[in-house]
Homo-oligomer: A and B are copies of this chain.
Amino acid sequence: MASKTWQEIARAAREHRDRSIAEVKPPLPEIRSEDLPLNVTAIPWKHLSSFEIELTETSPEKLVKSLASGELTSTEVTNAFLRRAGIAQKLTNCITELLPSRALARAAYLDSYLSTHKTPIGPLHGLPISVKEHVGMQGLGQNAGFVSWWDHTAPEDAHLLQLLWNAGCVFYARTTQPQTLMHLETSNNLYGETVNPYNTSLTAGGSSGGEGALLGMRGSCLGVGSDIGGSIRSPAANNGVYGLRPTSGRLPASGFAATMMGQEHVLPVMGPLSTTLEGCKLFMRTIIDQKPWLKEPSLVPVPWQMNDQARFGAKNGKKKLSVGVLWNDGVVKPHPPITRALKEVVETLNTVPDIEIVDWKPYKHDLAWEIIASLYFADGAKEEKEAIAASGEPWRPLSHFIITENQYCKELTVPEVWNLTAQREKYREEYAQLWNETAVDGDPDTVVDVILCPVGPGAAPPLDHARYWGYTAQWNLLDYPALVFPVSTVDQHKDVVEKDYDPMNDQDRWNYELYAPDKYVDAPVSLQLVGRRFDDEKIIEALEFMKETARI
């Protein structure tokens, strides 16, 4: 590597990517960027067959049924997603490589398996799944956004991928991530920036931004992301798809490449992004049903337990769904489209007798950020600095933001880390107490079930402007499961700038001044449902109940 400049390595990375896309058959068209609208989500329709469009716009839960019955072949489904992913790359720059030959070989094997055995190999039989690049695939690159890591390869498939594979999936696409993996955007010096398919002047979010953009383009229906501060949820929200950050210890967390391996102060997790809520459920159930804790003993043997009957509602003989609404975290006020969407959802929920809405008051979210931001880089980001310096690549703006400009990024001693960890536990206990105190007359069944809140301080911002992590990192600090779902898009008429707003602080002012509706044309608006630790199933059931009763 030493003999190559970072630019040469980046060129090699892009050529490798482009060659992999060029293998897709039939060949994909050239797309001239100067002819494109800001919203490129409809472009694939011009270049794909109607069958390909239909396949790639089918939900994962429906695809697995058709694949299991033999109504569809994995080969045709995989090829359709390969082609749409190739187009998505040309429009949003979300791919690090496609895997056409191995994916189609796998698909052919699965098709043959089904035809021989008359039964699918597993619950994901034949389903194409996209994967964020730093999640290891044996023998393939694993650069985690650093130019100097371009020649790193994974010794084996990540445990999570092994289990998806056992369940019958097809890996066909690997997706982009930012330098350091620690941006809520996706910008690195190997591939450049991943942009938002709804408005290419905006970010796809990050760090699983390649997944977000690919799913937004419907070049994937189910993908693997990772999240230590919002990295599944930001791209899910920005691209109008579903994303789940599970409680740590439920899904395998080994086998990805990143700095700071072995740090446990803030646990990174992997999880699904999907075009449907059912896709996220399918993902979770498929993994957890395989008892991943037997191989990866840091995981907790809690089975996946969705209630067969609804968990909520009088007609099910159950309690009301109690929703705490966090309008504003007390640090940075969300932009008008977010607050408007939240209001609309709450108004609708308020019409449902089986749903109870209460205000959820923010509790020291600034302190939460101070703790987690101190714990993110307890070595003072030494490893990140070295990994960047090793190739001579420039620092991307948001790497600067989260490391150099981050007042909490300091090299700590071991006792300082212990002290911060103790503070983290104290804060977690205080937040737990807030939940406990919502019990009416001491009846624990009456506590708030879920918190409904923004996913960020706005919709997808212009590139290099995702500078506030509080609405997602808050729940990482607490290790709460959090589910992102699409609600709306920015409305040029309704979502006007709030006049005469008096910002609470500098961060709030910065965010306030960032907003103008015309910068955010077509941007998806999403919201987040948050539960207590290990309430992964409950937040999904809550959203299902809200969809069923309030049609949100």
Contact = CB atoms under 8 A, between A and B. Distances in A.
Interface of A: 249, 254, 260-264, 291, 293-298, 300-302, 378-379, 382-383, 411-415, 417-423, 425, 428-429, 431-433, 435-436, 444, 478-479, 532-534
B425 A262 contact: yes
A432 B295 contact: yes
Contacts of A412: 414
A297 B478 contact: yes
A69 to B, nearest CB: 29
Contacts of A301: 302, 533-534
A432 B294 contact: yes
A300 B432 contact: no
A444 B294 contact: yes
B533 A436 contact: no
Contact of A262 (B295, B296, B418, B429): B418
A261 B422 contact: yes
B419 A262 contact: yes
21 contacts: A249-B300, A254-B429, A260-B415, A261-B418, A261-B422, A262-B418, A262-B421, A262-B423, A293-B534, A294-B435, A294-B436, A295-B436, A296-B429, A297-B533, A300-B300, A300-B302, A301-B302, A413-B413, A413-B414, A414-B414, A417-B417
A538 to B, nearest CB: 11
Nearest to A419: B262
Nearest to A431: B297
A28 to B, nearest CB: 41
Contacts of A254: 425, 429
Contacts of A532: 294, 297
A295 B418 contact: no
B383 A415 contact: yes
Nearest to A479: B297
Contact of A297 (B249, B415, B428): B428
Which of A254, A429, A478 has the most CB atoms of chain B within a 10 A radius of its CB? Answer: A429
10 A-B pairs with least C-beta separation: A262-B422, A262-B418, A262-B421, A297-B432, A378-B414, A297-B428, A263-B418, A379-B414, A301-B534, A379-B415
Contacts of A421: 262-264
A422 B419 CA distance: 21
A293 B423 CA distance: 18
A268 to B, nearest CB: 13
Which residue among A264, A383, A431, A478 has the maximum number of chain B CB atoms within 10 Å of its CB? A264
A396 B332 CA distance: 54
A428 B254 CA distance: 12
Contacts of A419: 262
Contacts of A431: 297
Nearest to A378: B414
A380 to B, nearest CB: 9
Contacts of A478: 297
A436 B260 CA distance: 29
Contacts of A436: 294-295
A171 to B, nearest CB: 23
A297 B429 contact: yes
A433 B295 contact: yes
A411 B534 CA distance: 35
Given A249-B300, A297-B479, 19 more contacts: A254-B425, A261-B418, A261-B422, A262-B418, A263-B418, A263-B421, A291-B444, A294-B435, A294-B436, A294-B444, A295-B432, A297-B431, A301-B302, A379-B414, A382-B415, A383-B415, A413-B413, A413-B414, A414-B417
A292 to B, nearest CB: 11
Nearest to A293: B533
A469 to B, nearest CB: 21
Nearest to A427: B297
Most buried by B among A262, A429, A432: A262
A412 B412 CA distance: 11
